Amino acid sequence: MMDNHLLNIANKFAFDQEIVDIKALGEGFINDTYIVTTQCRRYILQRKNHNIFPDVAAMMQNIARVTAHLKAKVVEAGGNPEREVLTVIPTREGELYLRDSENYWAASLYIEGSVTHDVADTPRLAYMGGRGVGRFQAMLADFNEPLAEVIKGFHNMRWRFEQWDKALSEDRANRKDSVCEEISWITDRRATMLEFWSMVERGELPMRVTHNDTKLSNILFDENDEVLCMIDLDTVMSSTSLNDFGDAIRSYTNTGKEDDTDLSRVSMNIDTFRHYTEGYLSERGTSMTQSEKEWLAFSSLYITFEQVLRFLMDYIEGDTYYKTAYPTHNLVRARAQFRLLQSMEEQYPKMQQIVQSLL
């Protein structure tokens, strides 16, 4: 039985034929995602989380502009724009999204034969993922239209610390006292992380078009591990391209799970780091500035630290941002990401050597 309300929503989009099935796709911490099947094709329908994305119209404009640019590049190179770039499906009225009282919906084409991975368990997968993210950035290097800042200060550490200080002083869920040790992890690294962001503020690290959520499961691969395209373009914005590298390393190299309860399973796999970096630099190496090269490895620590901060802050605030499966989920995530950060800190000299050797 299809949910009638969902069916009504789906029917407002310009899908080709009658809808025969709608199924939930249980992934992601933010939006709700469904697969819609019509007689001939499949589509993705998403309820966008309006608490997190206050301006869905601006977000969808970003996505439309960026995918149009990417499609032109793919066509120029003789590729298939429906498989190698996400295709937004408008509503029957020609809008990029649908507003249904409090909810916002958007749709895209489902790319048949595509697979996603949660674990980078082969060198080839890590290499290909790196190449995919590198190519995404390279294809957008000459994109000159303005992009809206869909989430304020998304990877901006100065802003994150403003939010952090407020969360601690308000202590809304009364949890601060129970996480003293975890708070010290953040305090100890505050100056170092802000120093990195200062380089972005001073223009020493250039702003580029970035995906901003490059975890492994946000790339579609084909059966031969070739990258088809980047998905989940909600956070496409201008930032330092290093963040896309760092966030991918956070996700690809983790030998445990993002929310592992057994910290002995969590560490950074340095071989996976090497393979990903090799793939990434094969596409981006020549277009990077000297300072981007110098700080590439550090961006992994930066983004992993940011993730510790964000999970811990959400725990302190009473779990208002991320979907959680149980009451201490955000705390468990923060601890597991901190273990990963420590492993990166231990291996940082080696990471730098690897980057150097590949340039």
What x/- string results for residues 192 through 221 when contact with ligand GN1 is judged by CB under 6 A? ---------------------x-x------
| Binds ligand GN1 (CB under 6 A): choice among 32, 84, 182, 232 | 232
CA distance 312 to 161: 12
Q: Quote the least distance from Cβ 155 to ligand GN1, whole Å.
A: 9
Q: Quote the least distance from Cβ 45 to ligand GN1, whole Å.
A: 16
Long-range residue pairs from 254-260, CB within 8 A, at least 24 positions apart, any chain: 254/340, 256/336, 256/339, 256/340, 257/336, 258/333, 258/336, 258/337, 259/329, 259/332, 259/333, 259/336, 260/332, 260/336, 260/339
Measured from the CB atom, is 74 or 86 closer to ligand GN1? 86
What x/- string results for residues 303 through 332 when contact with ligand GN1 is judged by CB under 6 A? ----x-------------------------
Cα→Cα distances 257→53, 225, 233, 270, Å: 26, 21, 23, 16
| 159 in contact with ligand GN1 (CB under 6 A) | no
Is residue 296 a contact partner of residue 351, using CB atoms and an 8 Å limit? Answer: no
CA distance 33 to 42: 13
Site stretch for ligand GN1 (CB under 6 A), options 28-36, 133-141, 178-186, 263-271: 28-36
| 235 in contact with ligand GN1 (CB under 6 A) | yes
Chosen from Mg ion, ligand GN1, none, partner binding at 29 (C-beta under 5 to 8 Å by type):
ligand GN1
Site for Mg ion in 28-87 (CB under 5 A): none
Site stretch for ligand GN1 (CB under 6 A), options 27-35, 59-67, 163-171, 177-185: 27-35
| 213 in contact with Mg ion (CB under 5 A) | yes
What x/- string results for residues 254 through 283 when contact with Mg ion is judged by CB under 5 A? ------------------------------
Residues in the interface with ligand GN1 (CB under 6 A) total 10
Is residue 316 a contact partner of residue 238, using CB atoms and an 8 Å limit? Answer: no
CA distance 242 to 291: 10
Apex 127 CA angle, 121 and 132, nearest 5: 115
| 247 in contact with Mg ion (CB under 5 A) | no
| 232 in contact with Mg ion (CB under 5 A) | yes
DSSP codes, 61-122: HHHHHHHHHHHHHHHHTT--HHHHS--EEPBTTS-SSEEETTEEEEEEE--TT-B--SS--S
For ligand GN1, the binding residues (CB under 6 A) are 28-30, 52, 213, 215, 232, 235, 258, 307
Binding footprint of Mg ion on the chain (CB under 5 A): 213, 232
